[in-house]
Structure 1
Amino acid sequence: MDPARASQRRGRRVMMTHEEVDAFLRGQRTCRVATVSPDGRPHVSALWFAWDGSSLWLYSITRSRRWSDLRRDPRISVVVDAGEAYGELRGVELSGRAVFVGESPRTGEPCPELAEVERIFPVKNFGLDEMPHDGRHAWIRLTPDAVVSWDFRKL
């Protein structure tokens, strides 16, 4: 069992397998990002993301509250969920520390570490083959320390 998933406190019956988590995260578009504000309160915002199989990538506006919160305190929690009726609910929560990758803001300078995510993200979210750079966004990577999942369709 994946060590990050070993600490999951939810019922084992509804926990997704590693393969199910991977497929779910590759198929979803929107996540909810929780950061810690300067006064200690949580701040939650919605954002598109990409999943590369081991890390969740966020393309965030560099002048956003989320960006400044993470620059000051890199602790982050992200939830990706789906379903309407109770028996359809499923999701994944990923927690860890944010890492800023590439130039800020991103202008498209060569960065081998961003090659894969900049291939995945524009196809998934814009239907484009190339990553559009607007000089306002930059990349944040979350390689989770903890993963919690649920799929109530298993009940």
Structure 2
Amino acid sequence: MSRRDQIRMTEDEVREYLAEQKVINVASVGPNGRPHLAPLWYFPHEDGVATWTYGTSQKAKNLRRLAQATVLVEDGDTYEKLRGVSFEADVEIVEDTAEVTRMGIELMQRYAGAKPGDPVPDELRAFIAGQAPKRIGLIFRPTKVASWNHGKLGGTY
């Protein structure tokens, strides 16, 4: 078995990894053809991830022009601890304000430490409702996935 095969995460491991991490790096194609890279908070969605952003942001403009991106989530500070998931994705842009509000609430609840289904504080709901008209939702659906967990090597190289 190749080293690559040894460190690859299973589909379940990828889902668990995405559920525990907090930041994705999203690469879209800028107007000059170069990658535009941006870190974003996210929440797991189906087999990929979802987030929101300002509708006038550069990433939004890029994704409206070409609804494709590469997403990277990684961690580890030494070789034997390196883990990550990178995937190419088709991107769905969500503009319905009610759905963007729902996505914003899910995102903010996640980062506040709430569990799915926990009640949404009125102040948070009001804040998100005020933000949603200026934002769009982004759903990243993987088309090609690469993953690695060097911890599976047991400290050997």
Q: How high is the TM-score relative to the length of structure 1?
A: 0.80
**Other-structure match for 2:142:** 144
**Other-structure match for 1:27:** 20
Are residues 96 and 52 of structure 1, via their aligned partners in 2, closer, same or farther at CA, if it must alter by over 3 Å? closer
The one-letter code sitting in structure 1 at the alignment partner of 2:22 is R
**Other-structure match for 2:73:** 80
**Other-structure match for 2:93:** 100
Rounded to whole Å, the distance in 1 between the matches of 2:90 and 2:6 is 28
Runs of 4+ in 1 over 6 A off after TM superposition: none
Rounded to whole Å, the distance in 1 between the matches of 2:94 and 2:64 is 12
* Contact 1:95 1:146 survives alignment (8 Å): yes
Rounded to whole Å, the distance in 2 between the matches of 1:10 and 1:75 is 30
**Other-structure match for 1:121:** 107
| Deviation, structure 1 residue 149 | 0.3
* Contact 2:29 2:62 survives alignment (8 Å): yes
| Deviation, structure 1 residue 118 | 5.4
Aligned length: 140
* Contact 1:54 1:143 survives alignment (8 Å): yes
The one-letter code sitting in structure 2 at the alignment partner of 1:30 is V
| Stretches of structure 1 lacking an aligned partner (at least 5 in a row) | 1-8
**Other-structure match for 1:5:** none
Rounded to whole Å, the distance in 2 between the matches of 1:88 and 1:119 is 33
- 1:69 is paired with a residue of what secondary structure? helix
* Contact 1:101 1:114 survives alignment (8 Å): no
The one-letter code sitting in structure 2 at the alignment partner of 1:41 is R
Which of the residues 49, 57, 81 maps onto 2:50?
A: 57
Are residues 102 and 10 of structure 1, via their aligned partners in 2, closer, same or farther at CA, if it must alter by over 3 Å? farther
Q: Is 1:69 paired with 2:62?
A: yes
* Contact 1:22 1:53 survives alignment (8 Å): no
| Deviation, structure 1 residue 68 | 0.4
Larger Rg: 2
Are residues 80 and 33 of structure 1, via their aligned partners in 2, closer, same or farther at CA, if it must alter by over 3 Å? same
The one-letter code sitting in structure 2 at the alignment partner of 1:35 is S
The sequence identity of aligned pairs, in percent, is 26
The one-letter code sitting in structure 2 at the alignment partner of 1:124 is R
| CA RMSD of superposed structures (Å) | 2.3
- 1:142 is paired with a residue of what secondary structure? strand
